[in-house]
Chains A and B, each alone.
Chain A
């Protein structure tokens, strides 16, 4: 007879000294963990609830401006530097880590409308309604010792005066040209006081401009005649133009897919376009209840942030029809400009109440140094949330957002209006000759025409 029975001596399974770590034994046999799916589901439910609890996206406000913040620019070569311009002509350089002004750039007489930094991070370009373009040396602003508590001011390196007020400016991604827009689209060089090139199409004011991150010579502008126009610097005339039913306030190119750009529209929607095919939007991003004032893509190209006249900031997936996040505070007024931080983990908004606000890009993200155990836990939670995201209870909790009352009411009203319109269209269609009325998809409906 051969016999063996399980025999465990406590010495083999417990620690020898109290300083030792406790010994851990694993057995992954599924029969030991009964009802594992139910347990996982409960954990997923708890994980989404925890996300709601930890969703505190607001980090802090940066005050200093004495008038509404009109534009912002991030320094492509410095993660924590941000420039902001205000309606009273004040330009400030902010240190995002300490949320303090590092330097001021006085000089503009009226509102500053455009700010842009060259890709090497050495030159700041500003333009405003005083018809001047000012170039500033960023190195001079940042090289001063930070221990000096008195805020430093810097003189403009050069000032170019031109014929018309400017609405926006943008620097080329690769090269030393920059574009300003106003009555016309002007292309400037750092070294010349006159534009090297100028484009005009129609008589209306151009209100925004963005260079393509993929092609240094390509730029898109939007104008108050409700058009979006594409220009190529190598050609004498514009490439193409598309007119929508409402005006586009701002544009942003997707940095990871530079054929696509998203337009922030006056009607509260954002429209993503492929610039090669402007007769149909790739995606319509809805949710804002008032005009979208500014838009900026995350450096990952997977999401973008929008600021709206309805006093909220929203985050969208690059291909999502509805926003995945809404940020608002009681004190934040009309949002005029938004920016993603260079590492894609923060969002900065500038609004009518003279403040810049710093937000987390992921509302429930834990800041600071994360221990390996914590990181593992977060990863586990992400995985189970992903696995059970389709279940109704998990979905309901994950989707729920508290909205300010005016926005809640306005969105309800908009829903009623759109439902009524749809009902009316359906009836009209039912009561007319078949084929006589065709419904266009929303992706096409707001486009009036395309001009070559």
Chain B
């Protein structure tokens, strides 16, 4: 008996575990499927339907293969921070983390204090290997983050407002007092880009090789760094701003303005793609999630808002100032304010951000720029007294792809990659709000309203007019007769377009009928006579 029970239990268990494995695989597959499977049943063309079914099957198979290969290809697990008992993650200090982790990781916690040349801004290469730093007082440098060695530093002896790496660590651009300059790794000035003016903020679009800048006069410039052509030059018309961020998902540049609006730009149109009012006061910081669905904005109205970029709606409003915002690869949001840093996380995966970690710097340090280091659990902080780096477990993507961004790249691989990325350089026209639109069919056909729809619309309009109360007018103009007349007029006015449309359609139908009936009888050449006759009679 016991044995049989055991067997039963085993047989009961086995399917459930298999089921679990399948569930897990499905969950992983979802990431690779790139959206829902199309509904092919609606297609009338049998051949096309079969072709598309086969293609969808292929997509499913490749997604499944990728999900299965994950186990072997992506061996490293991401970082995490788990509290025990009544511990709270945001109470855990950096010292406590440093005690727990290995020496190499602990070496990523440091403060570089350079009080004379600050405030500092910083930028990482896409692989996270190199960091460019720019001190306000003219201090520029490149640091290798793996062996923490300074590759080159130079003093340009004028204001530096922003630095940004170009496609690899060999070149970086610095926004200086009057002009924008491009330097190479050795610190040699390669170009002086005078057309940009006095640039406040810089961004580099890696896929397009475009250097985007916004200057003191609120002008947005796009320059192609391969050929040197100025691709776009737009006046924002919304005043001076130094809040600028590229949406990595689609290459759209977001600008935050002092009026509280956030505008989104592409290099091929002089008007913004999107203009949204986000705050009741100047926008102080802006960040985009790498999956392109979320945007975080911070305003002087003491609010940090998280937006859904698919619907352009607020998902969450959090209290607090933020002078700098940044999303990590895994979706953590860092907010810096004064000398205090708060990291928010979306623990449940439902776009509901809550406090994850906090960090306080020495009082008096003013945070200028926060940047998560790609592929590492590290947050870089540029502040008024130098720059610092802290550990944020679970921030970075644990598995890098050698062909996308390799932190351990050799010079030969870098050269190879440069050529590849130049071959795949995207034209500026490919920047659009929904990049998956490329290669799809443009639907221009308008939906035609049905008769019932139109009738109900008209009824609603009529009801609206009937319910409206007329204003009290001066003496003599408020007579009941006049009021009734006015009401009737308003009704007629509302009804007119619908009636006109109806008449038009009826005419169309009758003329069509006439045509067809005549066509049967007469050749085309004689039809004109027939029509005249019919009209006359």
Q: Which A residues form the contact surface with B (CB < 8 A)? A: 1-10, 13-14, 22-35, 37-43, 46, 387-388, 391, 430-434
Query: Smallest distance from the beta carbon of A380 to chain B beta carbons, Å?
Result: 13
Once A30-B32, A430-B524 are accepted as A-B contacts, the answer to whether A5 and B393 lie under 8 Å apart by CB is yes
Q: How far is the CA of A31 from the CA of B248 in the complex (A)?
A: 9
Across the interface, do A25 and B73 meet the contact criterion of CB distance under 8 Å?
Answer: yes
State which of A6, A28, A31 has its C-beta within 8 Å of the C-beta of B375: A6
B398 proximal to A (CB < 8 A): yes
| B404 part of interface (Cβ distance < 8 Å) | yes
Interface pair B84/A10, CB less than 8 Å apart: no
Which one of B146, B376, B391, B438 lies within 8 Å of A38 (CB-CB)?
B438
B426 touches A5 (CB 8 A): no
Kindly list chain A residues whose C-beta atoms are within 8 Å of the C-beta of B31: 29-30
B436 within 8 A of A: yes
Residue of A nearest to B247 (CB): A34
Assess whether B87 is interfacial by the CB under 8 Å rule. yes
Contact among B400, B402, B404, B523 for A433, CB-based, below 8 A:
B523
Residues in chain B near residue A3, CB distance under 8 A: 79-82, 92, 97, 100-101, 393
- Complex CA–CA separation, A37 to B193 (angstroms): 32
B32: chain A residues at CB < 8 Å are 28-30
A383: min CB distance to chain B, Å: 10
In chain B, positions 504-535 with a C-beta closer than 8 Å to chain A are 519-520, 523-525
Contact B104 A7 (CB under 8 A): yes
* B residues near A27, Cβ cutoff 8 Å: 73-74, 397, 399-401, 404
Closest B residue to A15 by beta carbon equals B410
Residue from the list A5, A13, A32 in contact with B397, Cβ < 8 A: A32
Q: A1-B96, A28-B32 are in contact. Are A434 and B520 (CB under 8 A)?
A: yes
Name the residue of chain B whose CB is nearest to the CB of A25.
B402
* Interface flag for B300 (CB, 8 Å): no
Q: Does B36 contact A (CB under 8 A)?
A: no
Ordered by A's residue number, 30 sampled pairs between the chains whose C-beta atoms are within 8 Å are A1-B87, A2-B80, A3-B82, A4-B79, A5-B101, A5-B105, A5-B391, A6-B78, A6-B375, A6-B376, A13-B408, A14-B408, A24-B402, A25-B73, A26-B69, A26-B74, A26-B401, A26-B403, A28-B73, A34-B250, A35-B251, A35-B435, A37-B439, A38-B430, A38-B435, A43-B424, A430-B524, A431-B524, A432-B523, A434-B520
User: How many whole Å from A34's CB to the nearest CB in chain B?
Assistant: 5
Q: Across the interface, name the chain A residue whose C-beta is closest to B75.
A: A25
- Chain B, interface SS category: loop
- B residues less than 8 Å from A434 (CB atoms): 519-520, 523
Say yes or no: is B123 at the interface (Cβ < 8 Å to chain A).
no
- List chain B residues, Cβ under 8 A from A14: 408
| Residues A2 and B84 in contact, CB atoms below 8 Å apart | yes
Interface status of B207 (Cβ within 8 A of chain A): yes
Chain A residues, Cβ within 8 Å of B453: none
Output the nearest chain A residue to B89 by Cβ-Cβ distance. Answer: A1
Q: Is B497 an interface residue (CB 8 A)?
A: no
Assembled-state Cα–Cα distance A13/B104 (Å): 15
Are B400 and A25 in contact (CB-based, < 8 A)? yes
- Nearest CB in chain B to that of A7: its residue: B105
Contact status B408-A10, CB under 8 Å: yes
Residues in A neighbouring B520, C-beta threshold 8 A? 434
Q: Verify if B152 is at the interface (C-beta below 8 Å from A).
A: no
Q: Using a CB-CB cutoff of 8 Å, which residues 93-129 of chain B contact chain A? A: 96-97, 100-102, 104-105
Complex: A14 Cα to B96 Cα, angstroms: 31
Determine whether the beta carbon of A35 is less than 8 Å from that of B83. Answer: no
User: Please, which residues of chain B bring their CB within 8 A of the CB of A34?
Assistant: 207, 248-251, 290, 292, 435
What 0/1 pattern do residues 435 to 450 of B give for CB contact below 8 A with A?
1101100000000000
The residue in chain B whose Cβ has the minimal distance to the Cβ of A431 is B525
Q: Is the CB of B82 within 8 A of A35?
A: no
Shortest beta-carbon contacts, A-B, top 7:
A38-B430, A5-B377, A27-B401, A2-B82, A430-B524, A5-B79, A431-B525
Neighbour of B207 across the interface among A4, A30, A31, A38, CB < 8 A: A38
Which residue of chain A has its CB nearest to the CB of B55?
Answer: A387
One digit per residue, 1 when the CB lies within 8 angstroms of any chain A CB and 0 when it does not, for chain B 391-427 equals 1010011111111111110100100000000011111
